[in-house]
Amino acid sequence: MKLGKFPPWLALLMPAIVLLAAVVLVPLVLSFYSSFTSYKLTKPDTLYNWIGTFNYQKAAGDIYFWTAFGRTVLLLTVALNLEMVLGLGLALMVSKVTRGQRLLRTMMMFPMMFSPILVGFQFKFIFNDNVGLVNNTLQSLGLTTTAIPWLVDAHLAMFSIISAEIWTSTSVFAILILAGLYAMPQDPLEAAKVDGCTPLQSFRFVTLPFLMPFIYIAMAIRSLDVARAYDIVQIMTNGGPARRTELLWTLIGRTGYVDAKMGYANAMGYISILLAIFFTVYFFRKLTAARAELGMAL
Amino acid sequence: MASNQSHRMRRRGLKIAHFIGLFLAMSVICIPGLWIVLNSFRPTVEIMAKPPVWIPNDLNLDHYRAMFGAVGEGGVPVLTYFRNSLIISVTSTVIAILIGMAGGYAFARYRFKGKAAIFIALMVTRAVPGVALSLPLFIIYARVGLIDTHIGMIVTYVAMNVPFTIWLIDGFFRQVPRELAEAAEIDGCTRWQAFWRVEFPVARSGIASAGIFAFLTSWNEYALASQLTRSVTSKTMPVGLLDFTSEFTLNWGGMCALAVLMIIPALVLTFLVQKHLIAGLTFGGVKG
């Protein structure tokens, strides 16, 4: 096969690079440009109306934007950490089971098949104050007589959203950590036991360091997809009521499509893109570092 | 003696705690899904009943009948959405796998300058939030007439799936010993032949699971689809789910039925790939 003057690896990567440049890079350049204009969907001419950094200044002074920004970072921090801890716990519990492990593993993957939009709908139903599973259970057990407004109260709504987010994504962590537990050599654990380590110590100093690369793989995968939470929030509360659960993504969507202020939405979108890229690069670097460490240990 | 007994007690206690913990975790994982399935068979009156009806006494297929007959409340054209989803997901998966195979092979078999940087750059494109990407895509697609078309959605999903597909396929090719292909080349195969006759068959099942993963991503995607599709000509099922909501009411039963229809293919496919998926991710990640 003749591949011209290109080195073969470049020729092989070309389709991917061209496609991603066309569908991701070019739009991003356009959105970067339009974030400096007063572009409104309803008035196409405004695309050429250069207004400098006005949109960014507006975002910087917009209290709604900063609340949404802070809430997004908070949601991601809380959700990712809880998912990691719960996933670790789940994986450890499943790995200790002697019979029926295959079945448990399959059940564990159950939430991964659900479309995030479906998860949003499902938890909207479950936390519904009138016919939802949670309130029905609480009322039938006599724990409360009132209908708890899970999706209306600001704190409860955030709690409901985080529950939904954790429900879908814990299994990603659990599955990958479980894979790590299977791959782990048994000798160091036995050596630690012989040396008189308590189970807690051998977990802390032997098991956990070995699992770290796996945790970072899970984090890296999750960071590619953190914005999936948008789907969940969109259908559960759509940022409401009264912006109490507004995230960066719902705010961008509403500004761009409902208010038709594309320029401003793109300016905010760019900030969210940089946030996502930061997360991704951070975890991929951690992954590379952990991998190097493990490579030396093995 | 006494210490022995307390030791045994503690072990039994741990065992019970382990069992309870596992049982609780599995309940939390399974109940939300099962509840949806159950409700798809219950009449709306029973779903809305106050006080709640715990033991269903009237299970029927009404919601499914309404859904497929498109005569129910609102007459949601579920079958058209299903067809759109299928066309878009299958086509984009096939293309993403072809592109991903080329890219994955390049990363697994060649050494070149800036490999790590190029890899991360490709991955980062996947991290761009759907909503943020949908704004400029919407503007461009509107100009070139790709809004509300199958082609537009397919191109978008291929781009969305390629980075992750490359990651997975890279992992699977790494598991194929380099010597295998080299031996074939010594025996007179060209590199192209060596790939199709030796490396591809070995990595085939792994590539298939990367394909299923890409399919599921397209099948479940909402953020982009909700903006880039407008009507029945290209709306996919996740977007169609919203047809069951109106300003003040929600057709819970109908929604549950559509949810079940969406989950079944995902369920079957995920079971098929679960083993390969983990292998691909960990190999690609750990032994890179």
- CATH code of the domain covering residue A142: 1.10.3720.10
Same structural domain, B49 and B130: no
Instruction: Assign B288 a pLDDT band (cuts: 50, 70, 90).
Output: very low
CB B241 within 8 A of CB B81: no
Q: What is the pLDDT of residue A298?
A: 34
Same structural domain, B183 and B266: yes
* A99 in contact with chain B, both atoms CB, cutoff 8 A: no
Reported ipTM:
0.83
Same structural domain, B192 and B60: no
* Final residue in a domain of this structure, among B13, B40, B66: B66
Is A211 a member of any domain?
A: yes
Same structural domain, B140 and B23: no
Q: How many domains does chain A fold into?
A: 1
Same structural domain, B52 and B77: no
* Final residue in a domain of this structure, among B47, B66, B85: B66
Our CA-based measurement puts residue A169 at a distance from the nearest CA of chain B, in whole angstroms, of 11
Is A48 a member of any domain?
A: no
- pLDDT at A297 > cutoff 50: no
Q: What is the pLDDT of residue B151?
A: 92
Is A272 a member of any domain?
A: yes
Kindly report the pTM of this predicted structure.
0.85
DSSP A221-253: HHHTTGGGHHHHHHHHTTT-STTTT--HHHHHH
Same structural domain, B93 and B211: yes
* A138 in contact with chain B, both atoms CB, cutoff 8 A: no
Q: What is the pLDDT of residue B282?
A: 63
Contact across the interface for A249 and B131, Cβ inside 8 Å: yes
Is A149 a member of any domain?
A: yes
Q: Which of A15-29, A163-177, A234-248 has the lowest mean pLDDT?
A: A234-248
Is A152 a member of any domain?
A: yes
Q: How many domains does chain B fold into?
A: 2
Contact across the interface for A93 and B21, Cβ inside 8 Å: yes
Is A19 a member of any domain?
A: no
Between residues B45 and A254, which one has the greater pLDDT?
Answer: A254
Same structural domain, B204 and B154: yes
Domain that holds residue B16: 2-66
Between residues B157 and B115, which one has the greater pLDDT?
Answer: B157
d(CA B27, CA B23): 6
d(CA A138, CA A144): 6
Domain that holds residue A119: 63-297
* A7 in contact with chain B, both atoms CB, cutoff 8 A: yes
pLDDT per position as a tens digit, A224-260: 887 778 888 888 887 777 777 888 888 888 888 888 8
pLDDT per position as a tens digit, A80-136: 999 999 999 999 998 888 888 878 888 888 888 888 888 888 898 888 887 788 888
